[in-house]
Amino acid sequence: MLLERCTWQEVERYLEQSRGILLPIGSTEQHGPNGLIGTDALCAELIARGVGEATGAMVAPTLNFGMAQHHMAFCGTMTLRPQTLLAVLVDLLGALARHGFERCLVINGHGGNMATIFAAFSELHAAASLAPEPRPASLRCRLRNWWSPPAVAAVQKELFGERDGSHATASEISVTQYALPECIKRAPLDPPQAPASTGFTDAADFRRRYPDGRIGSDPSLATPAHGERLYRAALDALAEDYRNFLVEP
Ligand SMILES: [Zn+2]
């Protein structure tokens, strides 16, 4: 059930039978020579919608922007500062809480969002902890990166080994190729496997270390069929995770 395609009465009725919701979050950032700018948001949205269909969960609109300052030396990247993303998340999660949602599983497509997402959860809990009596219960939130469940990591390892890399990965590009076969890009990759991660600071530093935008990856290995396997593994793992989350004390 997609929130943006419901009426307010439908959301009210949904809340009579469930208090859970999924929030996909991605980023709008470069993904190397053959990766789409929207990769992180596309992966998070596809998987969150699959989990929503499998579990009957409400799915909030995808937050397409994330904390991508380190990708700003590549054209097309659009970033939010950490403090902006923090404020956006606190407002949006607070809005869901106000309507009566009690559990929100945030399905994330971009590692660079994690620190800020956790900070937003802490802000929500702090607001409840510091409120005068009667204190409201705070929305319980959980962050899951779509690639983190062990079953997904096992498929990644089997398909790509260490050539998956850590940015513009063969895995995420496979998932977008599965989702949008009409948008598959072919481009020379030189070297075939990008330099391994040595950390980074700002956008200029990132570009100096990783000139074509990839980190450690060989996304020439990406295929739609691999993407489908990864999608199904992520969907199954996160659907189980969501069902457990709903009934946890
Ligand atoms: Zn990505």
Residue 84 DSSP code:
H
- Alpha-carbon radius of gyration of the chain: 18
Alpha-helical regions (H) of 161-223: 170-179, 203-209
**How far does the centroid of ligand 1 lie from the alpha carbon of residue 38, in Å?**
8
For residue 85, the number of C-alpha atoms closer than 13 Å in the C-beta half-sphere is 26
pLDDT of the chain along its 249 residues, tens only?
999 999 999 999 999 999 999 999 999 999 999 999 999 999 999 999 999 999 999 999 999 999 999 999 999 999 999 999 999 999 999 999 999 999 999 999 999 999 999 999 999 999 999 999 988 877 999 999 999 999 999 999 999 999 999 999 999 999 999 999 999 999 999 999 999 999 999 999 999 999 999 999 999 999 999 999 999 999 999 999 999 999 998
**How far does the centroid of ligand 1 lie from the alpha carbon of residue 171, in Å?**
9
| CB 193 within 8 Å of CB 163 | yes
**How far does the centroid of ligand 1 lie from the alpha carbon of residue 100, in Å?**
32
| Residue 43: closest CA among 222, 214, 187 | 222
Query: How many CB atoms are located within 10 Å of the residue 39 CB?
Result: 27
The pLDDT, as a whole number, for residue 135 is 84
The pLDDT, as a whole number, for residue 149 is 98
| CB 80 within 8 Å of CB 63 | no
**How far does the centroid of ligand 1 lie from the alpha carbon of residue 91, in Å?**
25
The Cα 53–Cα 116 span in angstroms is 28
**How far does the centroid of ligand 1 lie from the alpha carbon of residue 206, in Å?**
15
**How far does the centroid of ligand 1 lie from the alpha carbon of residue 125, in Å?**
29
Residues with CB under 5 A from ligand 1 (ion): 39-40, 172
**How far does the centroid of ligand 1 lie from the alpha carbon of residue 215, in Å?**
10
The pLDDT, as a whole number, for residue 116 is 98
**How far does the centroid of ligand 1 lie from the alpha carbon of residue 36, in Å?**
9
| Residue 89: closest CA among 106, 103, 72 | 106
The pLDDT, as a whole number, for residue 90 is 97
**How far does the centroid of ligand 1 lie from the alpha carbon of residue 54, in Å?**
24
**How far does the centroid of ligand 1 lie from the alpha carbon of residue 29, in Å?**
8
The pLDDT, as a whole number, for residue 137 is 78
**How far does the centroid of ligand 1 lie from the alpha carbon of residue 78, in Å?**
13
- For the question of whether the overall pTM of this predicted structure is more than 0.85, the answer is yes
The pLDDT, as a whole number, for residue 115 is 98
**How far does the centroid of ligand 1 lie from the alpha carbon of residue 3, in Å?**
25
**How far does the centroid of ligand 1 lie from the alpha carbon of residue 193, in Å?**
16
**How far does the centroid of ligand 1 lie from the alpha carbon of residue 30, in Å?**
8
